[in-house]
Structure 1
Amino acid sequence: MSEGADARGSVDEKVVVVTGGSAGIGRASAAAFAEAGMRVIIAARSEDCGAEAEREIRSRGGEAHFVRCDVTRPDQVHDLFARAVERYGRVDCAFNNAGVPGDGRLADLAPEDFDRAFAVNTRGLWLCMREELRLMSAQGGGGSIVNNTSVHGIRTVFPGIGAYVASKHAAVALTRVAAMEHGREGIRVNAVAPGPIESDMLAASEAAVGGATTWRGLIPSGEIGTPREVADVALWLFSASSSYVNGQVIGVDGGFLAT
């Protein structure tokens, strides 16, 4: 277990499921969780990238196992958690990170593009939380769920990404409802709300909203965040050090939401 994990409260040996764990924030988070001593289930649609993420963690002495999963498929989501329990006996934590963009002005959006954003970012999140909450309840209560939302789920920033913004607002609402419904069972549900983070998604947003160039002018620090900085907040939310934190959406945004 790393010194950083010890400072946040031990997470050693906890079992965590990370959706969208083969790239970007999800991959960095899976690596950070394993480094802290957690046993990691990596869920993603890509066999190649998921298996590569698993090998990378194992090569560094961590414990990880990849399960192919499309979070829009209820059968695959159910199988994901069944396999996690089969392998490790329980699930203590979950980082619901899988997400897709939703580009296009509202008046120009095709219905299928709108539906895709909600299928992954909202319905897929709910499908995962449904399994997690049922499982944690059946285990006797206790557990920590962290949803990866966005500053866009709190504040409308740019035009042209309306489906994404709406789906992330809904993800924030799901986080708060779940925290309220399951708090007495000792199950905590929180969210991280990243601002601009070094990623393929940020690079792809350059054409639509100006990407990193525009963001640097909006962030008090003037800096773009890293996936590891998001992972560290999620790791703290899994630990005993955050035991009285529930139903919160924590910005990881260089101060953007304070402006």
Structure 2
Amino acid sequence: MSTGELRGRTVVVTGASAGIGKAAAGVFAEAGMQVVLAGRDEERGERAAREIGERGGEARFVRCDVTRADDVTRLFVAAVDAYGRVDHAFNNAGVPGDGRLVDLTPADFDRAFAVNTRGVWLCLREELRLMAAQGHGSIVNNTSVHGLRTVFPGIGAYVASKHAAVALTRVAAMEHAGDGVRVNALAPGPIDTEMLAASEAAVGGATAWRRLIPSGEVGTVRQVADVALWLFSSAASYVNGQTIGVDGGFLAT
């Protein structure tokens, strides 16, 4: 895939201090993009930005809690102040939501939706305003195969919040297609991250997933990031409102 056209463009990545977000920020920087990393963990986020700089990329970190509207607004003000515009965004920040529905507390449920759904909406609101005004842009929301299909019991809040994020993707794509803005989503299956490792107790983690994936393999963060990069490119210019599985064939079963 040729991504030379993305050189010099600005991308905002949420949840960028670890896992898929950190990997994606690195992949985008390799393509020559100016990367604004956002997250709550300032130490890890600053380190991730420095690592990109040490490899010759252009990146900076902005502390942001995507559940806080003021934080999200400040994030995009900072991005525009630094680079003049926001061409692309990868809304990646997410949290688990473990527990059977009857055992969840209202706080458990609200936390999953605050990050995985409301956080996506707050970011979309800023991104869509900026991109519609400039007449171009591409947004990728990182959801989950759980947003398309209920896989395991015991993670109901997570499943529901990811379904809602898929719905937000479709609505945003429909509302802003005429503004030159595309909005798509990724639906990763099991990816080798801290979150997958932490799911061992609740749903069996990688061991349980390998029995469900046709390839029998757990995915890598790079495999997810590469699809997001493709969605930003002109090669995907007629792809809009879609949720693309990055799942080793799971959704095909």
TM-score range, shorter chain: over 0.9
Task: Give the 3 Å change call, closer, same or farther, for CA 9–257 of structure 1 in structure 2.
Answer: farther
Whichever residue aligns with residue 151 of structure 2, its letter is: V
- Tell me by how many angstroms 1:10 deviates: 2.1
What residue in structure 1 maps to residue 60 of structure 2?
Answer: 65
What residue in structure 2 maps to residue 82 of structure 1?
Answer: 77
Distance in 2 (CA, whole Å) between partners of 1:112 and 1:20 is 21
Whichever residue aligns with residue 62 of structure 1, its letter is: G
CA deviation vs aligned residue, 1:144-191 (integer Å, no higher than 9, x gap): 000000000000000000000000000000000000000011100000
Q: 1:143 aligns with which of 118, 123, 137?
A: 137
Give the TM-score normalised by structure 1: 0.97
Identity of aligned residues (%): 76
Unaligned ranges ≥5, structure 1: none
Mapped contact 1:9–1:240 kept (Cα < 8 A): no
Q: 2:176 aligns with which of 169, 179, 182?
A: 182
Distance in 1 (CA, whole Å) between partners of 2:126 and 2:105 is 31
What residue in structure 2 maps to residue 166 of structure 1?
Answer: 160
- Tell me by how many angstroms 1:138 deviates: 1.7
Kindly indicate whether residue 215 of structure 2 is the aligned counterpart of residue 221 of structure 1: yes
Mapped contact 1:92–1:142 kept (Cα < 8 A): yes
Distance in 2 (CA, whole Å) between partners of 1:220 and 1:66 is 38
Distance in 2 (CA, whole Å) between partners of 1:73 and 1:41 is 18
What residue in structure 1 maps to residue 192 of structure 2?
Answer: 198
Secondary structure of the residue aligned to 1:158 is coil
CA deviation vs aligned residue, 1:63-105 (integer Å, no higher than 9, x gap): 0010000000000100000010000000000000000000000
Task: Report runs of 4+ in structure 1 exceeding 3 Å deviation.
Answer: none
Mapped contact 1:9–1:239 kept (Cα < 8 A): no
Give the TM-score normalised by structure 2: 0.99
| Residues 1-259 of structure 1 mapped to structure 2, 5 A cutoff | 4=1, 6=2, 8=3, 10-139=5-134, 141-259=135-253
- Tell me by how many angstroms 1:242 deviates: 0.4
Distance in 2 (CA, whole Å) between partners of 1:237 and 1:115 is 30
Mapped contact 1:117–1:163 kept (Cα < 8 A): yes
Secondary structure of the residue aligned to 2:167 is helix
Distance in 2 (CA, whole Å) between partners of 1:56 and 1:97 is 19
* Count of aligned pairs between the two proteins: 253
Whichever residue aligns with residue 111 of structure 2, its letter is: R
